[in-house]
Amino acid sequence: MSTPGSVTHEPQEAYDGPAHVGDLELQVRLRGHFEPIDGRFHWWGRLAADASLDDAVAGSTVTLRTAYGEAPGRLSDRDPWRRFRIAGTGRPPF
């Protein structure tokens, strides 16, 4: 609960929009939910294809930044359209 005059941003279940991975700006589609079994927020999604990510390695950890925050995420598989999947736990970047 927020007090009058204060502004807070609670984690949402979805975010589609611009994000940064290092100096690279790209579009992302992210989703997430609170998992009551482990008591943590789990988020995941896809990074838009970009030639700057061609040297990225599945399994590496990157920092994903949006206008709402930043969080570490782990890159996993790359789909046929060259988009990496990213996932993280804890406070999401959206």
Interatomic CA distance for residues 52 and 1, integer angstroms: 41
Q: Which residues of the chain form beta strands (DSSP E)? A: 14-21, 24-35, 40-47, 61-66, 69-78, 84-89
For the chain, percent of residues with pLDDT exceeding 90: 74
59: left (phi over 0), alpha (psi -120 to 50) or beta: left
| Angle made by CA atoms 5, 69, 77, in degrees to the nearest 5 | 150
Burial class, 73, CB count within 10 angstroms (exposed 0-12 / middle 13-18 / buried 19+): buried
What digits encode the pLDDT tens for the residues 50-80? Answer: 998 888 888 999 999 999 999 999 999 999 9
Phi, psi dihedral angles at 51 (to 5 degrees): -60, -30
| pLDDT score of 54 | 83
Q: For the chain, what are the domain ranges?
A: 34-94
Q: pTM here?
A: 0.82
Does 39 score more than 90 pLDDT?
yes
| pLDDT score of 48 | 96
Model confidence at 11, in pLDDT bands (50, 70, 90)? low
